[in-house]
Structure 1
């Protein structure tokens, strides 16, 4: 059995159980799905209980930056790059409403969007700089840098956070496992860790985490906007 087959068997043992009836196979598939659902639900609850206060604090800091004209720049590798793109599009083009009012669009983009830039930097300089070079070109004091990773060890993210901090950006890291090397960085303003050994569960919980961060940020901005007319009236 190849390493790939062994990994698949550990995830979906019912597919490797030999001959079985369809009903038994469906029962095992249903159980596997429910077990994974229960696992990620518990993980999301753990993250919410542990990080709830800091998420609200981070949202207020992000709202401060947006109010002052700052932008959000998101980045990550592999599956985390698609999460970075999803995060950026969530802020830039929200499709939900708050109290019947469409959520406001906020300036945000992902550093993985331009494949020409990514491949040029990777080929001509090195993959370690694909994010830090872009932050050096586009980032400015008052912006927000959000990096996503499952391991917390990606060299290009570590380097990017250093560049973002030097430019006065608010730095937000989202990692898995125990936070990896990102947990050792002094330049991170906020680090949110999803404590799991499973890449699948980490990324599922991270999605919930940054959606919560977006909602909290929008809520802060909405509350401030509603309070402003009342303060002017006084």
Structure 2
């Protein structure tokens, strides 16, 4: 179903993000000026949010990195997962650990990377279990789970985090808005919240948080 004019998939007005869409502007030069100004404003907003998010998360990043480094040193592995755009961010994070630009590779896998497994589990046992079932099959106590989400409340992620907790994993959540259910979940050891109402800005900041987390683990000098 098509969205209503001026509304996104969540029925939120978008003309404040893209005011030139509804503008009755026929001058190409003026339109290009508006486009440039919009892009510059979004870049500035993104940079400011990323900076403030990393600064406010510094203590939590250091604590999480220390725990992850200890688990990697003891033979632990990292499993990441998410839905939609967050699934690609989860895969990027796992790849950063497994095939880093510098330092030693660490065992990390994205649970969203194998479409055969995802579709088989979704068809056979239901989509809410696509990540939990993979953790049951692959994860052990001492491993690490990272769930990436903009809402922090997706059912399949919360079910997987509950399973991760049962298995003795160290559990991290990445969320936006107010953190959703991740923020208060007893199944989450560390929750990184990007306080924004924009999915785009949330995911941009989460990408930087993921890089900062990898960098902090790398600096721990983990020896495998």
Asked if Structure 1 and Structure 2 have the same fold, meaning a TM-score greater than 0.5 normalized by the shorter chain, the answer is yes
- Given that 2:25 and 2:31 are in contact with CA atoms closer than 8 Å, whether structure 1 keeps it comes out as no
After superposing on structure 2, the runs of 4+ consecutive aligned residues of structure 1 that deviate more than 6 Å are none
1:55 and 2:58 are equivalent in the alignment: no
Give the match for residue 228 of structure 1. Answer: none
Give the match for residue 194 of structure 1. Answer: 194
1:176 and 2:150 are equivalent in the alignment: no
Give the match for residue 205 of structure 1. Answer: 205
1:70 and 2:76 are equivalent in the alignment: yes
Q: Work out the number of aligned pairs and report it.
A: 216
Q: 1:221 to 1:4 in 2, by over 3 A?
A: farther
* Corresponding residue to 1:93 among 95, 99, 104: 99
Give the match for residue 138 of structure 1. Answer: 138
Give the match for residue 11 of structure 1. Answer: 17
Mapped to 2, the partners of 1:187 and 1:209 lie a distance apart of 20
Give the match for residue 104 of structure 1. Answer: 104
Superposed CA offset, 1:24-57 (max 9, x none): 1121111101111111112112212211011011
Give the match for residue 113 of structure 2. Answer: 113
Deviation at 1:104, TM superposition (A): 1.6
Match of 2:43, SS? helix
Mapped to 2, the partners of 1:105 and 1:123 lie a distance apart of 34
Deviates more, 1:4-13 or 1:30-39: 4-13
| Structure 2: unaligned runs, 5 residues or longer | 8-13
Give the match for residue 158 of structure 1. Answer: 158
Mapped to 2, the partners of 1:33 and 1:56 lie a distance apart of 33
What is the TM-score normalised by the length of structure 2?
0.92
Deviation at 1:14, TM superposition (A): 1.4
Deviation at 1:3, TM superposition (A): 3.2
Mapped to 1, the partners of 2:176 and 2:123 lie a distance apart of 29
What is the TM-score normalised by the length of structure 1?
0.88
Larger Rg: 1
- RMSD (Å) for aligned C-alpha atoms: 1.4
Mapped to 1, the partners of 2:132 and 2:123 lie a distance apart of 15
Q: Which structure has more helix as a fraction of its residues?
A: 1
- Given that 2:111 and 2:131 are in contact with CA atoms closer than 8 Å, whether structure 1 keeps it comes out as yes
| Structure 1: unaligned runs, 5 residues or longer | 96-101, 226-234
Match of 1:175, SS? strand
Mapped to 2, the partners of 1:62 and 1:203 lie a distance apart of 22
1:127 and 2:127 are equivalent in the alignment: yes
Give the match for residue 82 of structure 1. Answer: 88
